Amino acid sequence: MATGNEGETNGCTFQWKIENISHCWWLFAEGMTSPSFIADALEGTKWCLFLYLTGNRNEEDVSVYLHRKGDCSGPNIIEINFQLAFLGADGSLLKERNVSKHGFLRKSSKGFQKFESRKKMFFTEKEAFLPQDALMFQCTLWRKDESLVKSKHFYARTVFNVSRSFFVWSIRNFSTVNAGLRRKFKDNLFDFDLVLNEDIDKKLDIDMISLDDSVRYISFNTSIIDLEEKKENCGIKNCSADDLKVGVLSPVLIFPKKLMENKSRYLPNDVLSLGFEFAFWTKESESSIWKLQTKGKRGVKRKMPYSRKEIPQHTAALATDLKSMYKHGIFVDTELRTWAQTFPAHRNILSARSPVFRSMFMNDMKETNSGHVDITDFEADTVNRMLLYIYTDCLEDLHFESASKLYTIADKYEILSLRSRCSSFLQDNLRPTNACDVLILADRHQDDDLKSAVQDYIVEHNEVFSSLGWKIFMDTNVKLAADIMYRKVLNPGKM
């Protein structure tokens, strides 16, 4: 869930991107719920979006709703204006509907049962609505009796995890082979046999031996590989977990008659080669939400910190294992050396996370031959925090001073995700007493987004100008101070 101090904003815009959406059809009818967000400009009320891709009543429609959560502050009923929209890849509005002055009680929803045609979204105009199989759903809400002037932006992302595998089954003596021939496949989550059977015609069945409860959906795509090794698709069979009963045969392919009619192409030496690709989806999905900087009619949005991140168990376990490798020095092959401490590390992990380290180890520099990297311009604590992030993608016990130092080392070694996280932390923790220091940091590293955010903060907080820090800042950073005063003059309402 995301939250933030809306200041003088009078609305909120929430964008929700759903990836691999066409492969989560088991949720089409039961619906999907977005991460929650808080709009302080609307009296701290908490909201989320509901999406039904086969409609909540008619499966030919896509239904969308804005929902006010029950566990939120604000009045018992709040009247707002809002817009629901689907966006294209360029951010354009493909479909939009507006509602004015609607009153929301806690735990109440308002939306559109027939928002868009499912056929249009998933077939006739799929490239527009689902570029790269991702849907962008946007909701904008603002105070009643007002026009939307300045809104706080949030961005959420839900990814449905997809696993894929492919193998080839070559069936010798196909024209005379006896029914019951099996080809076994076993995965961590399921175990099945492909069974060659014969009814009126030869067919291929799946015999599910075991199926983990987390698997919701499996897609089987069968193809025939001809003499020229070209794959000819024979169709896709989509199965939910309920369709695949253990011990019950489920047909996946009936062989076409053209096999026997064109043996030279499809059955060279009486060998049938089947390409078998399957993809499966589990109940797990990854959701995250970012708070974005205020955006007015002329504003530019800037990313703010992760206010919420749901980490699936397998990702957390991986981070724990990598952290253990780092802490216990398992199979290390290099060292990072500071004045006070030496840190064993792994070249491949450093290279995967930092192009600067990758260049050191690939280009026969001294770090490759010596087996160590000297880092003399940063404290041991900063290097240790950077390594923990490299191995685990986590920041622990971050505070203002450590975030500033991490930002600097992330910039030096081009660990862009770490720099972005530190920038977000600094923006979220701006105070009149530290704003000038952050502005100097942003200017030194040519970070226009961070610099602009700090400049906006200073202009909006008059107490900065009466502080001793500002007086020292004006004496040592004349141009930066002049830029601030110029912004102040252009925004007389902030005086």
Domain boundaries, the chain: 11-160, 163-282, 313-490
So what's the pLDDT on residue 86? 96
Q: In the CATH scheme, what architecture does the domain 163-282 have?
A: Sandwich (2.60)
Q: State the CATH class of domain 11-160.
A: mainly beta
The CATH homologous superfamily of the domain defined by 313-490: Potassium Channel Kv1.1; Chain A (3.30.710.10)
330-338 contact pairs (CB < 8 A, 24+): 333/371, 334/361, 334/367, 334/371, 334/372, 334/373, 335/371, 335/372, 335/373, 336/372, 336/373, 336/375, 336/383, 336/387, 337/372, 337/373, 337/374, 337/375, 338/375, 338/376, 338/378, 338/379, 338/380, 338/383
Among 2-6, 280-284, 298-302, 420-424, the minimum mean pLDDT is found in 298-302
pLDDT, mean of residues 292-318: 43
**163-282 shares the fold of 11-160:** yes
pLDDT, mean of residues 277-295: 59
Q: How would you write the chain as a 3-class SS string?
A: CECCCCCCCCEEEEEEEEECHHHCCHHHHHCEECCCEEEHHHCCEEEEEEEECCCCCCCCEEEEEEEECCCCCCCCEEEEEEEEEEECCCCCEEEEEEEEEEEEECCCEEEEEEEEEHHHHHHHCHHHHCHHHEEEEEEEEEECCCCCCEEEEEEEEEEEEEEEEEEEEEEECHHHCCCCEEEEEECCCEEEEEEEEECCCEEEEEEEEEECCCEEEEEEEEEEECCCCCEEEEEEEEEECCCCCCCCEEEEEECCCHHHHCHHHHCHHHEEEEEEEEEEEEEEEEEEEEEEEEEECCCCCCEEEEEEEECCHHHHHHHHHHHHHHHHCCCCCEEEECCCCEEEECHHHHHHHCHHHHHHHHCCCHHHHHCEEECCCCCHHHHHHHHHHHHHCCCCCCCHHHHHHHHHHHHHCCCHHHHHHHHHHHHHCCCCCCHHHHHHHHHHCCCHHHHHHHHHHHHHCHHHHHCHHHHHHHHHCHHHHHHHHHHHHHCHHHC
Among 155-164, 325-334, 477-486, the minimum mean pLDDT is found in 155-164
pLDDT of 2 over the 70 cut: no
pLDDT of 304 over the 50 cut: no
So what's the pLDDT on residue 316? 60
So what's the pLDDT on residue 93? 92
Strands 334-337 and 342-345: antiparallel
pLDDT, mean of residues 440-444: 94
pLDDT of 46 over the 70 cut: yes
pLDDT digits 0-9 by tens, 193-211: 888 877 546 777 888 777 7
So what's the pLDDT on residue 1? 54
pLDDT digits 0-9 by tens, 188-197: 677 788 888 7
More confident: 275 or 23: 275
Beta bridge partners of 353: none
Q: Please tell me the distance from the alpha carbon of residue 232 to that of residue 215, in angstroms, as a whole number.
A: 28
Phi, psi dihedral angles at 158 (to 5 degrees)? -120, 125
pLDDT digits 0-9 by tens, 358-409: 988 887 566 666 778 999 889 999 999 999 999 988 887 788 899 999 999 9
So what's the pLDDT on residue 27? 58
More confident: 103 or 217: 103
Q: Please tell me the distance from the alpha carbon of residue 404 to that of residue 450, in angstroms, as a whole number.
A: 12
Among 172-176, 181-185, 238-242, the minimum mean pLDDT is found in 238-242
Chain-wide mean pLDDT for the chain? 81
So what's the pLDDT on residue 296? 44
So what's the pLDDT on residue 444? 93
